């Protein structure tokens, strides 16, 4: 089973969309194996967004991620990275299709509600930034045979 990191950014928390968004992933069949509310500090934000260092929007990314609480979760399931990213929609909520998280709840490019790992390799790196191994649980869902 593949794992992916999902961050429900400060705007999702402030707008009280956390439960609604998590429900979508669960209904799709992804299994929640890690969950916590985090106030990201600058050091964590810099590590998380290291690939964007030096870009014009880098500083505003850091400011946004550290501006309030973030819900960090690890989801697990078949093709979890691709499934989660498809559910999220395009980075620009105004250009995201209805039915996606950003398409249904967002209009902004920067305040785009959610982050999801873009590859299994990056998922492993990002999960290690946000979670200690003992914070992730392993279990079998009772409906696993029905989901695939």
Query: Which of the four pLDDT bands, split at 50, 70 and 90, describes residue 109?
Result: confident
| Residue 71 C-alpha from the chain's centroid | 8
Collapsed DSSP state (helix, strand, coil) of residue 121: helix
**CA separation (Å) from 147 to 26, 55, 131, 141, 143?**
11, 41, 26, 10, 7
pLDDT of 39: 98
Fold of 2-135: Alpha-Beta Plaits (3.30.70)
Tokens of 105: 């709840």
> How far apart are alpha carbons 16 and 145 in whole angstroms?
32
Q: Which of the residues 7, 11, 115, 131 is marked catalytic? A: 115
Query: Which of the four pLDDT bands, split at 50, 70 and 90, describes residue 147?
Result: confident
Rounded to two decimals, the pTM is: 0.94
- Residue pLDDT, tens place only, 52-66: 999 999 999 999 999
- Residue pLDDT, tens place only, 16-30: 999 999 999 999 999
Return mean pLDDT, the chain: 95
Indicate the domain borders of the chain.
Answer: 2-135
52 in catalytic set: no
């Amino acid at each position: 089973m593949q794992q992916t990191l999902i961050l429900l950014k400060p705007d999702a928390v402030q707008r009280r969309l956390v439960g609604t968004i998590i429900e979508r992933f669960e209904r799709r069949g992804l299994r929640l194996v890690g969950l916590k509310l985090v106030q990201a500090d600058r050091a964590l934000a810099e590590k998380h967004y290291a690939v964007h260092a030096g870009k014009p929007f880098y500083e505003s990314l850091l400011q946004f991620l550290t501006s309030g609480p973030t819900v960090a979760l690890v989801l697990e399931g078949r093709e979890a990275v691709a499934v989660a990213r498809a559910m999220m929609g395009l980075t620009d909520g105004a250009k995201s299709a209805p039915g996606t998280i950003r398409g249904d709840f967002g209009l902004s490019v920067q305040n785009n509600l959610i982050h999801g790992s873009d590859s299994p390799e990056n998922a492993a790196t990002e999960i290690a930034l946000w979670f200690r191994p003992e914070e992730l649980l392993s279990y079998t869902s009772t409906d696993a045979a029905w989901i695939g």
